[in-house]
Amino acid sequence: MIKLAEIKKSFGDQEILKDISLNVERGKVVAILGPSGSGKTTLLRCLNYLEKPDEGTVSVGEISLDAHSVRKKEIIAIRRQSAMVFQHYNLFSHKTVLQNVMEGLVVVHKMKKSIAREQSKKMLAKVGLEDKLHHYPSQLSGGQQQRVGIARALALNPKVILFDEPTSALDPELVGEVLSVIKEIAKEGITMIIVTHEMTFAREVADYVLFMDEGIIVEEGVPEQIFYNPKEERTKRFLKRLEGDDYDNQNHAGKGVHQHAL
């Protein structure tokens, strides 16, 4: 349902994505792992054209865009197929929680306000924020803000939700609440692509894992294979290094694996 073909993207003379191709089936949860600067966020942002690829084809749902012949209308059309959850939440700070979720429904999908309000309340209940409807983002914790971000994405009823490091900006003690919300909605069969550093989470929630480094997909496969039996040297090195560095986050993802002293 989602297809990337031969995507290339450079910033200046730095090649960020070197010929990436990818297929995601309906209802699958795909996790993209990799060191910083590997191009995983750029890849995600090419999917909704927040970054315009230099070359290649992006298909989401029925819409297919070739980088050489895109028009504004098509970009808007492909964006309406997906929804995004951002690292820094990016809630509209002049709107209440409820208004944040309703905004896309009313403005983009031209839904009647009363219907949009009901649907938004339902989504906010799903992420456990039914008691914060009339609060402003500045009154919420990071974890709560990110859950609003997730409700905002869910409400649009998209073909796919793109998660761009949804817990990276959170205080460690708030990571768990966001991950458990994502796990819940993953069970509902919504297609998701998640860029994350949370290894334990990725292992538990993903149907398929991509490991990226230096603008290419180094290795891909089911979580068991990538985590327990990686074939590529770079994947092995990355996972090994992460076992040391990322113990803190892993603990909060549920099953703590390592207990290092600081």
Question: Would you tell me which residues interact with other proteins (CB under 8 A)?
Answer: 48, 50, 76-77, 79-80, 82-84, 86, 88-96, 103-104, 107-108, 134-136, 138-139, 152, 156
- Distance CA(177)–CA(80), nearest Å, equals 28
Closer Cβ to other proteins, 34 or 104, answer by number: 104
Closer Cβ to other proteins, 92 or 229, answer by number: 92
Minimum distance from residue 162 beta carbon to other proteins (Å): 8
- Distance CA(89)–CA(252), nearest Å, equals 19
Minimum distance from residue 183 beta carbon to other proteins (Å): 23
- As a whole number of angstroms, the longest Cα–Cα distance in the chain is 55
Contacts 24+ apart (CB under 8 A), 117-125: 119/155, 120/151, 120/155, 123/151, 123/152, 123/154, 123/155, 124/97, 124/98, 124/148, 124/151
Minimum distance from residue 132 beta carbon to other proteins (Å): 11
Minimum distance from residue 85 beta carbon to other proteins (Å): 9
Minimum distance from residue 51 beta carbon to other proteins (Å): 10
Amino acid, single-letter form, for residue 212: M
Closer Cβ to other proteins, 18 or 95, answer by number: 95
Closer Cβ to other proteins, 76 or 115, answer by number: 76
Minimum distance from residue 36 beta carbon to other proteins (Å): 18
Closer Cβ to other proteins, 96 or 249, answer by number: 96
Closer Cβ to other proteins, 64 or 229, answer by number: 64
Minimum distance from residue 55 beta carbon to other proteins (Å): 22
Distances (CA, A) of 78 to 2, 49, 61, 71, 232: 11, 8, 8, 11, 34
Per the CB < 8 A criterion, the answer to whether 202 and 33 are in contact is: yes
Closer Cβ to other proteins, 113 or 134, answer by number: 134
